[in-house]
Amino acid sequence: MNAPNFPAVRVNGVSKAFGRNRALDKVSLTIEKGSSLALLGRNGAGKSTLISIITGIHPPDAGTVEFGSRGRSAGVECVFQRSTLVPALTAAENIMLNNYPKRGGMVDWKRLSRRGRDILADWDCANIVDAPVETLAPVERKIIEICRALSRNPSVLLLDEPTAGLDFAGGQRLFKWIREARDRGVSLLYVSHHLEEIFEVCDQTTVLRDGRVVLDRALDGMSIRDLVEAMVGDARRAEQVSAPPAFAPRSLPVLTVESLTVDTRVSEIDLKVRQGECVGLAGLEGAGHMQVVQALCGLVPVASGSVVVDGRKLRRFDVAEGMKCGIGFIPEDRHEGGYVPEMSVAENATLPIMRRLRRSFGPVRQSLREREYARLGGEWSIKAASPRQPAGELSGGNQQKVVLARAMSTDPKAILLMNPTAGVDIAAKQSIYQTIKARAEVGKAVLIASSDDDDFSICHRVIVMVRGKIHKELVAPFSGHELAMAIQGE
Amino acid sequence: MPIVVDHGKETDGHATATSPTHLKALLRGRNLKGLALVPAIVIVGIVGSVTSPAFATPYNIFDNILAFSAALGVLVIAESILLIGGLIDLSLQSTVGFSVIVFCYLMGGGTSGGPGLGLPIEFAIPITLGVVVFIGLFNGFVVSVLKLNSFIVTLAMLILLQGLTLGLSNGQTYTNIPDFILFLGTGRVLGIPVQAVIFIAVFSVAGLFMSYWPTGRAIYAMGGSHAAAQAAGIKTGRLAIGLFVFGSLMAMFAGVLLLSQVASAPSTLGRNMIFTVFAAAVLGGIDLNGGRGTILGAALGVLLLAIIQNILILSSVPSFWIDAVYGAIIVAALTAGRLRTLRDVLIRRQHISS
């Protein structure tokens, strides 16, 4: 309808460096009006940097970003994975949050409700207009966020992993609505790790790798295989990603899991980890690989199934019971459940075993605690000013090592790790891999669930999960390409 | 064997590399943070000695300040430990009066001053204990199993117990107090009033327990990061229930101490105490968000408030003004404390940028 010669967004030769790290190198892309572009790339390919430049959080070092004919002000609205809705307010209030229609200085509730109904009617959701958001289905909440973003009339709408937290049916409903919105002239920038979704809602794709555009074309006639190829690249495909520790394949199983089921998200998982073996659990977000490990650690009490650790059967899914049977673990996010920030590093690392650091019913002995910490801290090479420094003051890498040390303090037989290197620098990452390998070499069984493919480089096998079930098992040596394909469900 | 040698080296390396920093940490770290009120207490003490010759006498310090703070102190310990564990119990104040009235009611009737059942003391003590433990169990169950907000639950409990206290006693005052309880109010040990001894003893035991015993540390861990405590194998549900029961029992103990001082049990025993309890705990550095603060700090908070009240009484400030002065001092102290931490943050920031 209006000036079709103006694209919704045009990014021209944008470069950006953080210190010596070149995040983006002359990146260009164009989103036409009423079309939707999939922005793809592995973690660290430069997607987030590009998004932060398009949204104006960071200025580019070179290059420009143009929005349609209207300049920067009418730029981009974003719907991120994390909800920004106020749960107790109605759908209409959330859509017009802080932008209420007023009459005589007061909120005009009638007009608010009517306008909300008009907006939601486009999405076949007019009936939810006066319902509190907390009572709605996840997909309806997503729609409300999208409506709010669109009510500000942006040139382009950014959707970041919009299907996270939705079930399959919810996802399908969302895709249908997004396609209809596109037909009404809404331009989309779509970011997702789920490649099959891309084919549902996008017509163009731009793939980033190491800060450069490696593919920029229409999706017509492309397959998931082509996209993975572009994302992973030849170099990585040829590269031998795996370097697991030496291991006798006939050794005894330490961790045996049979028909593990976690509410509706994970069903009937069987797996075995042997002495000295590192096994990876991979999957897209929501595939259930994290839930499996959380259940084994006792963090999800609704699990069922049989778990045997070194000949002892877990009587229930409970942290203390798991520890008693020989499970040591680190939680998914160290800031949530990893460490107590006010407590010293020594105390954090020895928290599960403090009852052993004393005589009968006496006080915890500082000398025993610090001796134990010296052993654990040395093993993981934790750098702290003193054993009594509060854990909250350490760098991310050292905090993670404190959490790992805590998992090891009970001298577990099976070590369960979730995202063991999330948010740590390269040096800390290598040091953590070294220690995990060393633990495996002394006969521990290691199970790693992770969303960082690098973590699987120390694994003998990787079990890939798709939609709550085991999809495929890769035995080292495998390539990054094979792994990426399996994670996509191919 | 070589492994053992390695460990030795590791420990030695650590000790030599860190002992100067360790000393610094000891001087500047949380050990000192607990003593933040010492300067305030010294200043108030000087003001007291100047304004009244009766202030700086052993009698005033032990018999007035310490002995009369024992009940408050016991309650502050209970609330501080709950707060450190990330919980809150407002109903403690009602449990103070309720437990005492239940006890008097069980033994009461006749000339006791209020209605009662006339049971012998061998029955009255275990029944009272059972009732008090039940209150704690109930609070703990509702908060940690049903996951209701502890502020609301214990506020409701506060009102309920206050009402039960009035109903049971019919608003009357009991005077049937057993001798052993009266001894707590009037007795002396080595010339020092029993309650002053109790004040010092309970704070010492609680302070050591929270700093060095595994359960104390587990309470800090639970309040500092509930998820981290759980992931370390601490049974947080059981611990929370235990803390509520402990709180109720301590409230009963505080009730007994009050009872022994006034030698009679009015149905308003413990009324309005919870405000002073929170004031003392917060002044002493107990963090309402849990995981932070020391028992030593809380003890100093109690002492500061007790000294201020003592001075106000000695200098015959009309008692109607005492609460206003209290409130003003608390607001001033909290503001000063906040300004100090802000300054520390600013200094640290400059340090980093330079």
Mark yes or no for CB contact B10/A355 under 8 Å: no
Find the CB nearest B18 among A354, A355, A385: A385
Mark yes or no for CB contact B220/A340 under 8 Å: yes
Rounded to the nearest 5°, which phi and psi values hold at B152? -65, -45
Mark yes or no for CB contact B231/A341 under 8 Å: no
Domain ranges of chain A: 9-238, 253-487
Looking at the complex, report in whole angstroms how far the Cα of residue A354 sits from the nearest Cα belonging to chain B: 6
Average pLDDT, chain B: 85
Rounded to the nearest 5°, which phi and psi values hold at A173? -60, -45
Do residues B298 and B202 lie in contact, with contact meaning Cβ atoms separated by under 8 Å? Answer: no
Among candidate residues B164, B181, B183, the one with its CA nearest the CA of residue B267: B164
pTM of the predicted protein model? 0.82
Among candidate residues B307, B300, B278, the one with its CA nearest the CA of residue B80: B278
Looking at the complex, report in whole angstroms how far the Cα of residue B83 sits from the nearest Cα belonging to chain A: 15
Mark yes or no for CB contact A340/B25 under 8 Å: no
- Comparing alpha-carbon positions, the chain B residue that sits nearest to A347 is B217
| pLDDT mean by block of 10 residues, chain A; 490 residues | 65 86 88 89 84 87 80 72 87 87 86 90 86 88 89 86 82 87 87 87 90 89 86 58 64 89 85 91 88 90 86 89 92 88 92 90 90 91 89 88 93 93 82 90 92 87 90 85 85
Find the CB nearest A337 among B11, B225, B235: B225
- The kind and range of the H/E element at B327 are helix B322-353
Return the ∠ at Cα B336 (arms to B330 and B341), rounded to 5°. Answer: 125
Mark yes or no for CB contact B22/A347 under 8 Å: no
pLDDT of residue A2: 46
Residues of A in contact with B21 (CB under 8 A): 385-386
Looking at the complex, report in whole angstroms how far the Cα of residue B179 sits from the nearest Cα belonging to chain A: 35
Interface test with B, best of A300, A351, A399 (most B CBs within 10 A): A351
d(CA A259, CA A270) in angstroms, rounded, equals: 5
Mark yes or no for CB contact B14/A370 under 8 Å: yes
Mark yes or no for CB contact A351/B217 under 8 Å: yes
Residues of A in contact with B229 (CB under 8 A): 340, 351
pLDDT of residue A171: 86
Looking at the complex, report in whole angstroms how far the Cα of residue B51 sits from the nearest Cα belonging to chain A: 41
Q: Which residue has the tokens 């407590």?
A: A343
Residues of A in contact with B214 (CB under 8 A): 354-355, 358, 364
- A253-487 and A9-238 share a CATH fold: yes
pLDDT of residue B14: 39
pLDDT of residue A172: 87
Looking at the complex, report in whole angstroms how far the Cα of residue B6 sits from the nearest Cα belonging to chain A: 9
pLDDT of residue A248: 66
Residues counted in chain B: 354
Find the CB nearest B228 among A337, A374, A386: A337
Any idea which fold A253-487 has?
A: Rossmann fold (3.40.50)
pLDDT of residue B157: 95
Mark yes or no for CB contact A337/B231 under 8 Å: yes
Mark yes or no for CB contact A351/B224 under 8 Å: no
Residues of B in contact with A352 (CB under 8 A): 232-233
Name the H helices within B172-319. 179-186, 194-212, 214-224, 226-231, 236-262, 273-283, 295-314
SS3 content of chain B, % helix, strand, coil (to 5): 75, 0, 20
Domain ranges of chain B: 73-271
d(CA A374, CA A364) in angstroms, rounded, equals: 16
Contacts of B285 (CB under 8 A, 6+ apart): B33, B34, B36, B37, B292, B293, B294, B297, B298, B301, B337
Looking at the complex, report in whole angstroms how far the Cα of residue B351 sits from the nearest Cα belonging to chain A: 15
- Comparing alpha-carbon positions, the chain B residue that sits nearest to A366 is B212
pLDDT of residue B348: 65
Tell me the pLDDT tens digit for each residue of B227-273: 999 999 999 999 999 999 999 999 999 999 999 988 889 988 988 89
Do residues A211 and A27 lie in contact, with contact meaning Cβ atoms separated by under 8 Å? Answer: yes
Task: Please tell me the least confidently modeled range out of A118-132, A143-157, B21-35, B191-205.
Answer: B21-35
Tell me the pLDDT tens digit for each residue of A269-325: 999 999 989 999 999 888 889 999 999 998 887 788 899 999 899 888 889 999 999
Amino acid at B260: S
First-to-last C-alpha distance (Å) of chain A? 41
Q: Is A479 in the B-facing interface, judged by CB distances under 8 Å?
A: no
Count of C-beta atoms within a 10 Å radius of residue A62: 13
Is the pLDDT assigned to residue B37 strictly greater than 60?
Answer: yes
Residues of B in contact with A320 (CB under 8 A): 233, 235
pLDDT of residue B163: 94
pLDDT of residue A372: 92
- Cβ contacts from A onto B, under 8 A: 91
Q: Which three-class secondary structure string do you get for A422-478?
A: CCCCHHHHHHHHHHHHHHHHCCCEEEEECCCHHHHHHCCEEEEEECCEEEEEEECCC
DSSP character at residue A134: G
Q: Which residues 344-403 on chain A approach chain B with CB closer than 8 angstroms?
A: 347-348, 351-352, 354-355, 358, 363-364, 370-371, 374-375, 377-378, 385-389
Looking at the complex, report in whole angstroms how far the Cα of residue B82 sits from the nearest Cα belonging to chain A: 17
Rounded to the nearest 5°, which phi and psi values hold at B305? -65, -40
Per the DSSP assignment, residues forming a β-bridge with A474 are A462
Mark yes or no for CB contact A364/B220 under 8 Å: no
Burial of B344 (0-12, 13-18, 19+ CB in 10 A): exposed
User: Two tokens at B335?
Assistant: 């503001």
Task: Give the mean pLDDT of B199-213.
Answer: 94
Q: Do strands A204-209 and A36-40 pair parallel, antiparallel, or not at all (unpaired)?
A: parallel
Among candidate residues A469, A370, A476, A458, the one with its CA nearest the CA of residue A415: A458
Among candidate residues A229, A161, A221, A230, the one with its CA nearest the CA of residue A189: A161
User: Which residues of B make CB contacts under 8 Å with A?
Assistant: 6-7, 10-11, 14, 18, 21-22, 25, 29-30, 208, 212-214, 217-218, 220-221, 224-225, 227-235, 291-292
Confidence of residue B88 (pLDDT cuts 50, 70, 90): very high
Give the up-direction half-sphere exposure of residue A306: CA atoms within 13 A in the CB hemisphere.
Answer: 7
Give the up-direction half-sphere exposure of residue B109: CA atoms within 13 A in the CB hemisphere.
Answer: 7
Is the pLDDT assigned to residue B341 strictly greater than 80?
Answer: no
Do residues A346 and A384 lie in contact, with contact meaning Cβ atoms separated by under 8 Å? Answer: no
Task: Give the mean pLDDT of B119-136.
Answer: 94
Mark yes or no for CB contact B18/A378 under 8 Å: no
- Comparing alpha-carbon positions, the chain B residue that sits nearest to A332 is B231
Do residues B264 and B113 lie in contact, with contact meaning Cβ atoms separated by under 8 Å? Answer: yes
Among candidate residues A452, A459, A450, the one with its CA nearest the CA of residue A478: A459
Rounded to the nearest 5°, which phi and psi values hold at B146? -80, -10
DSSP character at residue A342: T
Q: Can you point out the beta strands (E) in A299-440?
A: 303-309, 312-313, 327-330, 414-418
Find the CB nearest B224 among A329, A343, A375: A343
Looking at the complex, report in whole angstroms how far the Cα of residue B218 sits from the nearest Cα belonging to chain A: 8
Per the DSSP assignment, residues forming a β-bridge with A107 are A102
pLDDT of residue B4: 36
The dihedral formed by the CA atoms of B41, B47, B50 and B54, expressed in degrees to the nearest 10: -60
d(CA A26, CA A31) in angstroms, rounded, equals: 17
Task: Give the mean pLDDT of B164-172.
Answer: 91
Domain A9-238 = CATH 3.40.50.300: yes
